[in-house]
Amino acid sequence: MHKQFNESRLLAAAGHDLRQPLQAMQLFASTLSASPMEMCREIGRNIECSARELGYMFDVLFDMSKLETGAIEPEIVSTPLAAVVGQVLDEIGPALTDRGVALRAELPEVCAFTDGALLGRMLHHLLQNVAVHAPSGDAVVRAGIENGRLTLCVEDDGPGIPAAMRQAVFEPFMQAPQEGERPQGLGLGLTVVRRLADLLGHEVVLGSGPGRGAQVRVILGADEAMARSPGELLSAPTSQ
C-alpha cells in the first residue's frame, strides 16, 4: 500500500512535465493540419487524434493518482448545470467528432449543489467512454428530476454492458468484453467517475444491456437541494 501511494504521488508530481511534450505535439500537429498540402493535412489530423487519445490517458491517470493520494478537496456550491456541461462539450467535442459520435444535450436551466470542476471531470470521463466504446453512433446528455432527485444522464446507442458486469466495470482496469474486439483504453474512467461521485455525495447508476446501449445516471441530489434557475441563489440544506 505504501509503495502504491508513493507511485501515485510520483505520477501526480510529474503531471506537468509529462503534459508539456504532448502539448507541443498538438501544436505541431495543428500546424500540419493547416498545410495547403492534403497529405500534410491528413498526417496532421491523424497526429491530433492520437495526441487527444494520449492526453485522455494522462488525464485519467492523473485523476486516479489524485484520488489515491487524497489530493482532491471538493468545493460544493450552487452550480449552473448547463455551464458545466457546455464547457465539457467544448473540450471533448473534437474527440467525439474523430469517432463519428453525434451528441446532443437536453438540459433545463437548473443549478445543483456540487463542485462544478469535479462534476465536469466525471462527465468528461463518461463522454470519453462513449467515444471509445460507441463510435459512429448517437449520444445524449440530459438532466431532469427523477423520483424527486436531480439527475444527469449520459446515454449512447453502443453495444451496452451486460447486467452481470454493471458493478465490476467500476473496478480499476476492468472493462466489459466486446465481441471480436480487444479492450481499448486503460479501464479506469468509470473507476474515477465512481470515486469522484463518492467525494461529492452523488450516486452513479449504470443501466444498459447488450445491443441496447449504455445509460449512466449521476444522481446529484434531492429536488429541494437545487435551484430551478441559475439566477436563484440557494443556501445549502441544513440537517434537522
How does the average pLDDT of the chain come out, rounded?
77
User: What confidence tens digit (pLDDT) does each residue in 41-97 have?
Assistant: 787 777 777 777 777 677 778 888 888 878 888 999 999 999 999 999 998 888 888
Residue 3 DSSP one-character state: H
Q: In CATH, what is the architecture of 77-227?
A: 2-Layer Sandwich (3.30)
List Cβ neighbours of 140 (8 Å cut-off, separation of 6 or more).
103, 104, 105, 106, 153, 154, 155
Does 110 or 18 have the greater pLDDT score?
Answer: 110
Q: What are the extents of the domains in the chain? A: 2-69, 77-227
The CATH number fitting domain 2-69, selected from 1.25.40, 1.10.287, 3.40.50, 3.40.630 = 1.10.287
Sheet with 111-114, strands from edge to edge, namely 77-80, 111-114, 226-227
Report the half-sphere exposure of 30 (CA within 13 A, side-chain side). 8
Q: Which residues pair with 215 in a beta bridge?
A: 155, 207
**φ, ψ dihedrals at 210, nearest 5°:** -55, 125
Task: Report, as an integer, the average pLDDT of 203-218.
Answer: 81
* 212 pLDDT above the threshold of 80: no
- Average pLDDT for 167-189: 69
What global pTM score does this model have? 0.73
Count the residues in the chain. 240
